[in-house]
């Protein structure tokens, strides 16, 4: 199985440790994974701002970089959802369609494709799980509280395999953090208020770390935690799943 | 009907958020209702089947609207109800005025009609010497404060009981400082009772109009629609074209969904059926278009006409809960309002589809399965295509697309960005950067992942 590692642009620039953890984790699972170095952004910032038509270069570059792989895996639910829903091409639509069917967010790749049942990981801390909305409702990584349907949670399933990790309960288990891409600056006041309330839910319930399968949400929450000089840290789920004592 | 642009959602929301204690309380009150809705919906094993059935019935209505409307009209006439058609809000208001004028009526009681709010009926009639009293308690409070409703089901949810006490003191003569809800309600009831006893005309909205029988149903918790209608000589109902359901048996599905979604109640206290005038009474029904057929013609957005106005999308929307309904500067606020409003005036409401994180909670809470967040995404594309994005934003997006268009440019920009953060943090960490106003920037690492990968893996 040849897996192409997709690292979103902001993860590449600001959170390289999460990208490395993703790479190492996949290798630990015996996956043949390669990082095409000419990759760029998925195009979501333009598309969610109403400028989908400006994302054509991003789409074509993505196709060039990743068409040859069996699977494409990335540590960001939001970017993956964007690719699944909106990757199109003026010239190679058949390939774009094929790619849309083989992009996976890291958590769903581990649970649904690799179907892993155990992990050699340890993280003896109290952790709050933040569901990114695009992961939760878009990729269906867990059951959302709105629906009347059986409960499940893929990230929780993985976190339960980590030794010493204690997951803290939250008062509002799947509320949006308010990042929302360009929303975080165009609606700054609402975005920050939402972020503050999310952070408060985690800290009130005793979390030492807030984790998620989306670094964009974590970047926003981290900015708020830092400003408050909080001791609570954010950590991408790949770093926890790859952590050893 | 393009109106001058007021402040946009972001600015109005920012003003609302200044009073953080109020926001927390507003957020908590609406979340409480969302939680009640969850319990009520999960108490019915067939909840998701009900949603699907309702969605399909409404799809059928949307696809065959013409036929159902004609069937409804024929049955209304058979039942002795006078039918009117209004293409625009102005036409609707003129029809109401003409009905009242013919009977020389100068006072009217009104209940449960967001449509007439949309049409600006109260102001229209008041300018012509006809007084209108909103009989729903929340709407009544909003009316005496000269403010539009901020929520379609909970019109004054943004007001505290102390503020309502103050309003009642000012307008209804209650003692200063009185804020006990029961006592305030008693005072309002006394005033409204007098209104009900003396008005000769009553107007209501319509929750469901049954094509098969020519009857309509109005749902209230206060019984105020009945109080008005039963005592009136002239009863008027105003409805949007989309309120049709094909058959009476479908009511069971919608009534079970509506109250649970709106407030977490199994059913509204009163589900009143109106079919024919009693002796000596006149009944009129006005079918209003006001942009609905235009929305019907927009394939990507026609699903929005399925809406049964339960307000669940507002209660669940974190943006709505933190920013308040009035920040949407439109009669219908919240997520559903943000997809209905651009159809009415795209320029004026160009900001509303952007007042969302696209979290998707609205679409999944919706009892008729409207793909609200997908439509918000689609409106964004449409609004930009139509040239309603600000020129700064358009330029910014072009610059962003240019930077993100090749690995070399992106790499350079990333390196420059991280260099700035380390060497000259004040360049990015200043007040002109809306990210930095209340949040810190991420600590830029020395090396990007690609730099590390090229060094170590190639």
B356 assigned to some structural domain: yes
pLDDT at A219 over 80: yes
Q: How confident is the model at residue B424 (pLDDT cuts 50, 70, 90)?
A: low
Q: For B155, how many CA atoms within 13 A lie in the half-sphere containing its CB? A: 23
Selected residue with higher pLDDT from B226 and B390 = B226
Q: Considering CB atoms only, which of A145, A180, A187 is closest to B38?
A: A145
pLDDT in tens, B247-306: 999 999 999 999 999 999 999 999 999 999 999 999 999 999 999 999 999 999 999 999
Nearest chain A CA: its distance from B364 CA (Å)? 6
Does the distance separating the beta carbons of B457 and A15 come in below 8 Å?
no
Interface test with A, best of B32, B325, B368, B401 (most A CBs within 10 A): B401
Q: Residue A118 corresponds to which tokens in the numbers above?
A: 């155990």
Tell me if B354 and A186 make a contact (CB, 8 A cut-off): yes
Least confident range of A39-48, A55-64, B387-396: B387-396
The answer on pLDDT for B2 being more than 50 is no
| Shared domain check, B334 and B280 | no
- CB of A55 within 8 Å of a chain B CB? The answer is yes
SS3 content of chain A, % helix, strand, coil (to 5): 45, 15, 40
Stretch A41-61: mean pLDDT, rounded?
A: 91
Other CB atoms within 10 A of residue A82 CB: 25
- Give the whole-angstrom CA distance, residue B432 versus residue B417: 16
B364 in a structural domain: yes
3-state per-residue secondary structure call for B265-305: CCCCCEEEEECCCCCCCEEEEEEECCCHHHHHHCCCCHHHH
Pairwise CA distance, residues B441 & A223, whole Å: 6
Does residue B52 sit in helix, strand or coil? helix
Six-digit token string for B417: 């960005």
Q: Could you tell me if B385 and B410 lie in one domain?
A: no
Number of domains observed in the structure of chain B: 3
Which among A133, A148, A227 has CB closest to B438?
A227
- Using a CB-CB distance cutoff of 8 angstroms, which residues of chain A are in contact with residue B439? 192, 195, 220, 223-224, 226-227
The per-residue pLDDT for range B341-358, each reduced to its tens digit, is: 999 999 999 999 999 999
Q: In which order are the strands placed within the sheet that holds B201-204?
A: B82-86, B282-288, B234-240, B201-204, B107-111, B131-134
- Does B153 lie in the same domain as B58? yes
**Nearest CA-CA partner of B191 in B229, B142, B140:** B140
- Same domain (yes/no): B259, B379: no
Give the model confidence (pLDDT) of B192-233 as tens digits: 888 888 899 999 999 999 999 999 999 999 888 888 888 899
Q: Is the pLDDT of residue B243 over 80?
A: yes
Which of B258, B293, B328 is the C-terminal boundary of a domain? B293
Of B42, B359, B448, the CB nearest to A176: B359
Q: Is residue B21 part of a domain?
A: no
Tell me, yes or no, whether B63 lies in a domain.
Answer: yes
Mean pLDDT of B399-403: 80
Cα separation, A187 vs A191, whole angstroms: 6
Q: Does residue B7 carry a pLDDT above 90?
A: no
* Residue position matching structure tokens 């058959």: B247
Structural domains in chain A, sorted by start? 2-113 (no CATH), 126-241 (3.40.50)
**Cβ neighbours of A59 in B, within 8 Å:** none
Residue B39's CB: how many other CB atoms inside 10 A?
A: 10
Q: Are residues B433 and B376 in the same domain?
A: no
Q: Are B343 and B279 in contact (CB under 8 A)?
A: no
Q: Which residue has the tokens 């109009």?
A: B209
Query: How many CB atoms neighbour CB B128 within 10 A?
Result: 12
The secondary structure of residue A134, as a DSSP letter, is I
Average pLDDT over residues A182-191: 94
Q: Is B359 on the interface with A (CB under 8 A)?
A: yes
pLDDT tens per residue across span B60-70: 999 999 999 99
- Give the pLDDT score at B426: 58
Q: Does A80 touch chain B (CB under 8 A)?
A: no
Q: What single-letter DSSP state applies at residue B242?
A: G
Please state whether the predicted TM-score (pTM) of the whole model is above 0.90.
Answer: yes
Instruction: Please check the confidence at residue B419 and state whether its pLDDT lies above 70.
Output: no
Distance between CA B131 and CA B145 in Å, rounded? 16
Q: Is the pLDDT of residue A166 over 80?
A: yes
* pLDDT one-digit tens code per residue, B156-202: 999 999 999 999 999 999 999 999 999 999 999 998 888 888 899 99
B38 touching A (Cβ < 8 Å): yes
Q: How many residues does chain A have?
A: 245
Residues B220 and B142 in one domain: yes
User: How close A58 gets to chain B, by Cα (Å)?
Assistant: 6
Q: Which helix (H) or strand (E) holds B228?
A: helix B224-231
- Which of A53, A185, A193 shows the shortest C-beta gap to B435? A185
B110's enclosing H/E stretch is strand B107-111
Q: Identify the pLDDT of residue B433.
A: 78
B48 close to A (CB below 8 A):
yes
Mean pLDDT computed over B138-149:
93
Contact residues, chain A, for B45 at CB < 8 Å: 148
Domain boundary among the residues B335, B361, B391 is at B391
- Considering only CB atoms, B437 lies closest to which of A46, A53, A188, namely A188
Q: Do A15 and B442 touch (CB under 8 A)?
A: yes
Backbone angles phi, psi at A44, to 5 degrees: -60, -40
Give CA angle at B134 (B12, B165), nearest 5°. 65
Per the CB < 8 A criterion, the answer to whether B296 and B58 are in contact is: no
Do residue B273 and residue B309 come from a single domain?
Answer: no
In B193-277, beta strands by DSSP E = 201-204, 208-210, 215-220, 234-240, 244-245, 270-274
Domain range enclosing B138: 44-159+200-293
Last residue of a domain, one of B250, B267, B293: B293
B268 and B315 part of one domain: no
Return d(Cα B37, Cα B40) in angstroms, integer.
5
Whether residue B428 is predicted with pLDDT greater than 70 in this model: the reply is no
Residue A72 reports pLDDT greater than 70: yes
**Cα gap A196→B3, rounded to integer Å:** 36
Look at B356 and A220 and tell me if their CB atoms are within 8 Å: no
A185 inside 8 A of chain B by CB: yes
Q: Do B412 and B359 lie in a common domain?
A: no
Is beta strand B234-240 parallel, antiparallel or unpaired with respect to A32-34?
Answer: unpaired
State the Cα angle at B261 between B210 and B41, rounded to 5°: 110
Contacts of B405 in chain A (CB under 8 A): 40, 57-58, 61
Task: Say whether residue B85 is in contact with chain A using an 8 A CB cutoff.
Answer: no
Domain containing B66 — which CATH number?
3.40.50.10420
Interface test with B, best of A193, A218, A221 (most B CBs within 10 A): A193
Preferred mutation among B18, B359, B422, B446 to probe A, highest tally of A CBs within 10 A: B359
Place B3 in a pLDDT band, splitting at 50, 70 and 90: very low
- Phi first, then psi: what are they for B259, rounded to 5°? -70, -40
Is residue A147 over pLDDT 70? yes
Q: Is residue B116 part of a domain?
A: yes
Best to test chain A binding among B318, B334, B352 (most A CBs inside 10 Å): B318
Question: Do residue B126 and residue B231 come from a single domain?
Answer: yes
**Percent of chain A beyond pLDDT 90?**
94
Helix (H, G, I), strand (E, B) or coil at A103: strand
Hey, is B116 helix, strand or coil? helix
| Structure tokens that stand for B31 in this block | 């979340």
- B32 occurs within a structural domain: no
To the nearest whole Å, the CA of B457 is away from the closest chain A CA by 9
CA atoms within 13 A on the CB side of A25: 29
The predicted pLDDT at position B4 comes to 47
Q: Are B313 and B262 in contact (CB under 8 A)?
A: no
Q: Do A50 and B383 touch (CB under 8 A)?
A: yes
CB contact under 8 A, B13 and A189: yes
Q: Are residues B223 and B259 in the same domain?
A: yes
- Cβ-Cβ pairs closer than 8 A, A with B, add up to 206
Mean predicted confidence (pLDDT) in A224-234 = 97
pLDDT bin (cut points 50, 70, 90) of residue B369 is very high
| Pairwise CA distance, residues B361 & B346, whole Å | 24
A108 sits in which H/E element: helix A106-108
Beta strands across the sheet bearing B215-220: B244-245, B208-210, B215-220, B270-274
Q: Which residues pair with B102 in a beta bridge?
A: none
Torsion, Cα B160 B164 B165 B166, to 10 degrees, reads: 100
For residues B284 and B350, membership in a common domain is answered with no
Percent of chain B surpassing pLDDT 90? 80
ipTM of the complex as predicted: 0.96
Q: What is the pLDDT of residue B458?
A: 67
Any CB–CB contact under 8 A between B389 and chain A? yes
What's the rounded Cα separation, in Å, for the pair B221 and B264? 13
Angle at B344 between CA B323 and CA B98, to 5 degrees: 110
Q: Report chain A residues whose CB lies below 8 A from the CB of B353.
A: 50
pLDDT at B387: 92
Distance of CA B379 to the CA centre of its chain: 17
Cα nearest neighbour of A40 on chain B: B407
**Terminal C-alpha separation, chain A:** 30
Asked if residue B26 is part of any domain, the answer here is: no
B316 part of contact set with chain A, CB < 8 Å = yes
B-contacting residues in A 223-242 (Cβ below 8 Å): 223-224, 226-227
CA distance B32 to A224: 26
Q: Alpha-carbon distance B257 to A123, whole Å?
A: 45
User: Which residue has tokens 């994974």?
Assistant: A33
> Which residues face A122 on adjacent strands?
A163
Tell me how close the Cα of A175 comes to any Cα of chain B, in angstroms: 7
Q: Is residue B24 part of a domain?
A: no
Section B357-385 average pLDDT = 97
Assess whether pLDDT exceeds 60 at residue B24: yes
- List the one residue out of B96, B294, B303, B118 whose CA is nearest residue B201: B96
Is A114 part of the contact surface with chain B (CB cutoff 8 Å)? no
Long-range contacts of A86-89 (CB under 8 A, 24+ apart): A86/A43, A86/A44, A86/A47, A86/A52, A86/A55, A87/A42, A87/A43, A87/A59, A87/A62, A87/A63, A88/A59, A89/A56, A89/A59, A89/A60, A89/A63
- Nearest-CA residue of chain A relative to B32? A172
């Amino acid at each position: 199985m040849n897996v192409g590692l997709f690292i979103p642009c902001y993860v590449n620039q600001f959170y390289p440790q999460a990208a490395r953890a993703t790479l190492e984790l996949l290798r630990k699972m015996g996956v043949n994974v390669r990082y095409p170095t000419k990759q760029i952004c998925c195009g979501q910032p333009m598309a969610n701002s109403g400028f989908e038509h400006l994302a054509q270069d991003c789409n074509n570059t993505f196709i060039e970089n990743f068409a040859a792989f069996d699977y494409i895996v990335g540590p960001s639910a939001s970017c993956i959802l964007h690719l699944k829903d909106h990757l199109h091409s003026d010239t190679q639509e058949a390939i774009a369609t094929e790619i849309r069917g083989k992009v996976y967010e890291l958590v769903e790749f581990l649970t649904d494709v690799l179907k892993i049942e155990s992990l050699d990981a340890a993280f003896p801390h109290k952790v709050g799980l933040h569901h990114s909305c695009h992961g939760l409702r878009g990729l269906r990584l867990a059951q959302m509280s709105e629906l009347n349907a059986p409960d499940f949670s893929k990230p929780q399933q993985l976190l339960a395999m980590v030794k010493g990790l204690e997951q803290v309960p939250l008062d509002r288990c799947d509320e949006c953090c308010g990042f929302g891409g360009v929303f975080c600056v165009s609606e700054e006041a609402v975005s920050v208020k939402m972020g503050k309330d999310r952070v408060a839910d985690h800290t009130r319930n005793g979390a030492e770390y807030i984790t998620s399968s989306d670094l964009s949400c974590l970047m926003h929450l981290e900015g708020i935690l830092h400003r408050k000089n909080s001791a609570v840290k954010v950590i991408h789920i790949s770093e926890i799943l790859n952590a050893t004592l | 009907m393009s109106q001058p642009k007021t402040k946009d959602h972001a600015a109005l929301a920012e003003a609302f958020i200044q009073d953080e204690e109020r926001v927390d309380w507003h957020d908590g009150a609406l979340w409480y209702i969302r939680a009640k809705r969850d319990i009520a919906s999960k108490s019915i094993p067939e909840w998701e089947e009900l949603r699907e059935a309702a969605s399909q019935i409404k799809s059928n209505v949307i696809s065959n609207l013409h036929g159902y409307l004609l069937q409804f009209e024929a049955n209304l006439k058979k039942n002795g109800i006078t039918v009117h058609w209004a293409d625009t809000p102005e036409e609707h208001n003129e029809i109401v005025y003409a009905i009242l004028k013919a009977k020389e009526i100068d006072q009217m009681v009104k209940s449960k009609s967001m449509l007439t709010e949309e049409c600006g009926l109260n102001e229209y009639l008041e300018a012509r010497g006809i007084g209108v009293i909103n009989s729903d308690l929340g709407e009544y409070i909003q009316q005496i404060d000269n403010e539009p409703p901020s929520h379609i089901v909970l019109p004054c949810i943004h007001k505290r009981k102390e503020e309502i006490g103050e309003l009642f003191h000012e307008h209804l003569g209650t003692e200063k400082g009185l804020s006990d809800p029961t006592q305030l309600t008693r005072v309002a009831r006394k005033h409204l009772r007098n209104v009900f006893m003396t008005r000769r005309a009553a107007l209501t909205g319509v929750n469901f109009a049954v094509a098969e029988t020519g009857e309509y149903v109005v749902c209230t918790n206060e019984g105020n629609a009945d109080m008005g209608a039963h005592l009136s000589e002239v009863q008027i109902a105003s409805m949007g074209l989309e309120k049709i359901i094909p058959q009476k048996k479908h009511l069971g599905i919608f009534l079970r969904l509506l109250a649970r979604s709106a407030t977490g109640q199994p059913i509204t206290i009163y589900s009143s059926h109106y079919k024919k005038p009693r002796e000596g009474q006149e009944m009129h029904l006005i079918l209003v278009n006001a942009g609905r057929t235009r929305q019907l013609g927009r394939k990507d957005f026609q699903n929005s006409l399925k809406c049964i106005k339960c307000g669940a999308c507002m209660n669940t929307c974190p943006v709505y809960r933190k920013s308040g309904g009035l920040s949407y500067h439109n009669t219908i606020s919240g997520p559903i309002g943000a997809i209905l409003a651009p159809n009415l005036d795209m320029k004026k409401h160009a900001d509303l589809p952007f007042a969302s994180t696209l979290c998707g909670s609205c679409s999944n809470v919706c009892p008729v399965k409207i793909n609200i967040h997908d439509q918000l995404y689609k409106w964004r594309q449409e609004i930009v295509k139509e040239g309603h994005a600000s020129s700064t934003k358009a330029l910014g997006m072009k610059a962003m697309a240019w930077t993100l268009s090749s690995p070399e440019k992106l790499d350079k920009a990333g390196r420059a960005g991280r260099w700035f953060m380390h060497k000259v943090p004040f360049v990015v960490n200043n007040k002109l950067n809306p990210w930095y106003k209340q949040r810190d920037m991420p600590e830029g690492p020395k090396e990007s992942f690609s730099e590390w990968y090229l060094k170590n893996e190639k």
